[in-house]
């Protein structure tokens, strides 16, 4: 199994309203279930940061589709690694829009301002994503 992270600036025409984002996420979740993929998506303004994890072939097929998707520009592969266990096993595509309730978590990871998608490392985003996931899951209980 593999885990891959990337950042992407969404094209101006791709910056969707909340309803459109929900529709995109629903389709992504369905596709990810079919491909045995799980992951995490952070949306910060017009930038998205994502981690995908699952079987190598399925994951890279999905990533290549994302690369070809005209809604993305300045797509940066943050890195990938082999994994034994998933970090986001319950999330076919967990998603978070950065908002003030998350600010403490961002500050704990050194992100007091907007994240620079060209400078963030895979390890830094993964650590942030795991903590954001834990926060969101704790709010559900």
Position 12 pLDDT exceeds 80: no
How many folded domains does the chain comprise? 1
CA quadruple 78, 126, 39, 102: dihedral sign:
negative
Nearest to 4 by CA among 107, 70, 78, 68: 78
Highest mean pLDDT of the ranges 7-16, 60-69, 99-108, 119-128: 119-128
Domain extent for 86:
2-140
Report the CATH number that the domain containing residue 79 is assigned in CATH: 3.30.70.100
pLDDT tens, residue by residue, 29-78: 777 777 889 989 888 887 889 999 999 999 999 888 888 877 777 889 99
Token pair, residue 39, equals 């992951």
CA quadruple 89, 95, 100, 103: dihedral sign:
positive
């Amino acid at each position: 199994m593999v885990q891959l992270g990337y950042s992407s600036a969404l094209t101006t025409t791709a910056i969707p309203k909340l309803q459109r984002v929900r529709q995109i996420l629903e389709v992504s979740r369905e596709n990810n279930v079919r491909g045995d993929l799980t992951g995490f998506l952070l949306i910060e303004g017009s930038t998205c940061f994502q981690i995908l994890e699952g079987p190598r072939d399925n994951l890279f097929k999905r990533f290549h589709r994302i690369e070809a998707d005209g809604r993305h520009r300045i797509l940066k592969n943050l890195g990938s690694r082999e994994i034994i266990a998933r970090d986001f096993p319950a999330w076919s595509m967990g998603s978070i829009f950065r908002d003030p309730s998350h600010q403490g978590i961002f500050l704990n990871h050194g992100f007091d301002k907007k994240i620079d998608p060209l400078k963030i490392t895979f390890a830094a985003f993964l650590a942030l994503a795991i903590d954001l996931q834990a926060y969101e899951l704790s709010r559900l209980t």
